[in-house]
Amino acid sequence: MSKQQQKQVPPTPNRRVTLFVTCLADLFRPSVAFACLDLLEEAGCEVVVPTDQTCCGQPAYNSGDREAAIPLAQQVVSLLEPADYVVIPSGSCAGMIAHHYPSLLTGEWRERALEVSAKTYELTVFLQDIVGIPPRSPIKAARTSVTYHDGCAGLRELGIQNQPRQLLKNLCGVEVDELKQSEVCCGFGGTFCAKMPEISAKMVDDKLENALATGATVLTGGDLGCLMNIAGRARRQGKELEVRHVAELLADQRDIPAIGEGQ
Amino acid sequence: MEISSDTFLDNASAALRDTDKAKRRDFIAIATPQIRKAAIDEFEGFDALRKHVKRIRQHSLNNLAHYLEKFEQEAVQNGNRVHFARDGAQLNDIVLDICQQHGAKKVIKGKSMITEETGLNDFLKRGNLDVVETDLGEYIIQLAGEAPSHIVGPALHKSADEIGELFLKNHKLGDREFQETENLVDEARGVLREHFLKGDVGIIGSNALIAENGYSMLVTNEGNGDLCANLPDVLVICTSIDRVLPRAEDATAMLRLLVRSATGQPQTCYTSFYSGPRRDTDIDGPVETHFVLLDNRRSDILTSDYREMLECIRCGACLNHCPIYASVGGHAYGSVYQGPMGSVLTPLLTSLEESSALPNACTTCGRCAEVCPADIPLPDLLRNLRQEENDKKLTSSRWRSGLKLHSWLARHPRLYQWVTGIVIPAMHIIGGSRGRLSRLPMASGWTSQRDFPAPESRTFMQQYKARLRKNHEQ
Ligand code: SF4
């Protein structure tokens, strides 16, 4: 059971969900956002996508620029306040909103952030623990060997581990081939990978090595930042690995090229 | 405190190229978390104990002056002399003075991070004293002329072969071979024994000062601390003011967390309590004992946003679980304190200007905070330090203005979407059929090591808005 689940609002039928797509999905991987729409609709939710959403402010926050991060956090809080549920296809952005906003903001904004925090869920937590999306039958996805990368914020701030694995099983019939050292960071770390590229490269190489050692052909995960890092390094090193966001697999969207792959 | 943290990135780069050492680090980075986990899993109530000890540590720090006074009173009552040192230089002076008063020639030392912090060994050597480290790890790095690479295992970076070479070079014992690690340990034991017997002054550290009885608690696995404490006539215990705890039972509660987190043992081989000089009825022990308690900015830290850092019990678990420490090793940090705890502590004990890379040597993956027995939110503290760097403009101006621009744009959704609506499709086109970019002018750090996955198409917002418009028209 996730840490998030314990604070849940009692579920109501036909939930109205506000989708925060994240800036990375918006810019680099729209299929993740479209996959979320499909999955949430499949789960019987009514989905709203506020069109003036941009970024949750993590880059500034983690780089020590609160002055820049605070107005962004306030903007996101205002944007998400009307929602019944907020769903985000990223553990680190969900963690930022649910976990860090309340300590970043003060006074009345803090109270408002806490309210938003209480209804904010990472995608797989929402699908698995909150709506309990029913298993598909028959399962559509082709059988393929998949390994999973746990993003650090999702794993440690939100307790996400079992949910994506269960969903992959229920919706795609996929049993995850676990990679060794799965709890170790892939070296992305937001601006870290650009500030300390050599160290980051060593870390992502370890991750790739462990992923390839499973023999899986697909690596998936819940955070585009990590996935772009892993895919980008795999491409640079000429390593074969199909990297996709878990939403793409769950929504059975494997026809578009994988992250960092051409047509 | 002497540091060379300003060259962190260069040090790291050199460390990454040393593949033998990197392999060794990889091995340790996998093994140490497993050892800790086995110990914690076996021990029920670790989390409850962690909370309990945290409350005690907070209480002691909240009442630090009171407990220090109490400790001093009790320790003096037991026949010790207690000195307070404002900074490292003062600690060094006090210790040298004690040695000189006794006409000491040889000083034998147990492991003490505080004297590493103050650079005591070099200082005493300049005062013509012969200083010998007797903790095996410390002894090895002393022979090698190196700094510790890990707060608990100072010579963890050395292989058995390297240690063998050092011994062959430094111990004039003729031709011999070291078949097993045990041979090395045996030789060190023999050599160190001579030193123990000749020591005029013994210097050791402390894991806790106990206010209620004025005792000092020390844990070791080699028993060398006890020999340093009991064989020479003069004993000096060097530690810092934040080590004080109210009661003996608090110290032992802390110990249960410390040892499991550090080495995965339920208990170290030796747990000793030092009360003071030899009494008439004692058959051995020092004739004169001193406590030298270092502040070195700790009272400033106490009143700052970083006070939780003073709750650190120096177990080293955060180092063992840090992927950056594992990648670059302890020496890259250029400080006696390494890894996550070092990246917080070094800037606080010296200055951010001298160590500005350290707070950034972190992906905020949170693994350190998860295992820290003192429950210190290390990534949050590192983020706070980055905030200070940003405020003091210690970061590159390109970074700062880039981030400012990004945040400003993100606060203007229409403009943001207009700009990204141009840039993203362009990047998609440049990525072409390869689906990736090998070079990106604004992200050279990223593309120096990896390709940048090209955007899949137009932005989501462009597509989604088009979809909304279409639905609306229908
Ligand atoms: S910060 Fe925590 S984990 Fe690191 S050495 Fe100190 S007590 Fe141990």
pLDDT of residue B433: 87
Judged by CB atoms closer than 8 Å, whether chains meet at B456 and A206 is answered as no
Minimum-distance ligand 1 atom for the alpha carbon of B319: 4
Tell which of B360, B376, B395 closes a domain: B395
Q: What total number of domains does chain B contain? A: 3
Distance CA A125, CA B161 (A): 50
Question: A123 and A185: one domain?
Answer: no
> What is Dmax (Cα atoms) for chain A?
51
B310 in a structural domain: no
Distance CA B389, CA A156 (A): 26
* Residue reference for tokens 């032992």: B252
Q: Is residue A79 within 8 angstroms of chain B, CB to CB?
A: no
The average pLDDT across B320-344 equals 97
Q: Is residue B453 within 8 angstroms of chain A, CB to CB?
A: yes
Distance CA B40, CA B46 (A): 7
| Residues composing chain A | 263
Question: A46 and A156: one domain?
Answer: no
Distance CA B410, CA B402 (A): 12
A162 in a structural domain: yes
B311 in a structural domain: no
Instruction: Say which CATH number the domain at B115 has.
Output: 3.40.50.10420
Question: B246 and B338: one domain?
Answer: no
Facing residues of A243 across strands?
A219
Question: A49 and A97: one domain?
Answer: yes
* CB distance B54 to ligand 1 below 6 Å: no
pLDDT of residue B264: 92
pLDDT of residue A1: 41
Residue burial B237-270, b: 16+ Cβ < 10 Å; e: rest: bbbbbbbbbbebebbebbbbbbbbbbbbeeebee
pLDDT of residue A144: 84
CA of residue B440 to ligand 1 center, whole Å = 39
A44 in a structural domain: yes
Dump the DSSP string for A172-234. H-----PPTTTTS--S-TTTHHHHSHHHHHHHHHHHHHHHHHTT-SEEEES-HHHHHHHHHHH
Is beta strand B452-453 parallel, antiparallel or unpaired with respect to B436-437? antiparallel
Q: What total number of domains does chain A contain? A: 2
Tell which of A96, A131, A166 closes a domain: A131
A258 in a structural domain: no
Question: A121 and A174: one domain?
Answer: no
Per-residue pLDDT of chain A (263 residues; tens, 9 = 90+): 444 444 455 455 578 999 999 999 999 999 999 999 999 999 999 999 999 999 999 999 999 999 999 999 999 999 999 999 999 999 999 999 999 999 999 999 999 999 999 999 999 999 999 999 999 877 765 668 999 999 999 999 999 999 999 999 999 999 999 999 999 999 999 999 999 999 999 999 999 999 999 999 999 999 999 999 999 999 999 999 999 999 999 999 888 999 999 87
pLDDT of residue B147: 94
Domain that holds residue B453: 398-473
Question: A116 and A210: one domain?
Answer: no
Closest CB from B9, B363, B395 relative to A187: B363
Q: What is the dihedral of CA B171, B172, B177, B181, to 10 degrees?
A: -20
Cβ-proximal residues to A127 (8 Å cutoff; 6+ apart), any chain: A39, A40, A43, A133, A163, A167, A250
B446 in a structural domain: yes
pLDDT of residue A15: 86
ipTM attached to this prediction: 0.94
Q: Is residue A203 within 8 angstroms of chain B, CB to CB?
A: yes
Mutate to test the interface with B, among A3, A21, A62 (most CBs of B within 10 A): A62
Question: B329 and B464: one domain?
Answer: no
A136 in a structural domain: no
* Residue reference for tokens 């088009």: B466
A160 in a structural domain: yes
Minimum-distance ligand 1 atom for the alpha carbon of B151: 5
Question: B211 and B346: one domain?
Answer: no
Task: For residue range B110-148, list pLDDT tens digits in order.
Answer: 999 999 999 999 999 999 999 999 999 999 999 999 999
**Nearest to residue B135, comparing CAs of B26, B229, B275?**
B229
> 10 Å Cβ neighbour count for B37?
13
Distance CA A58, CA B318 (A): 24
pLDDT of residue A12: 53
A260 in a structural domain: no
Domain that holds residue A99: 5-131
pLDDT of residue A142: 60
Question: B185 and B296: one domain?
Answer: yes
- Whether pTM > 0.90 for this model: the answer is yes
Question: B143 and B269: one domain?
Answer: yes
pLDDT of residue A141: 59
A141 in a structural domain: no
CA of residue B237 to ligand 1 center, whole Å = 22
Q: Is the peptide bond before B379 cis (omega within 30 degrees of 0)?
A: no
Distance CA B253, CA B52 (A): 9
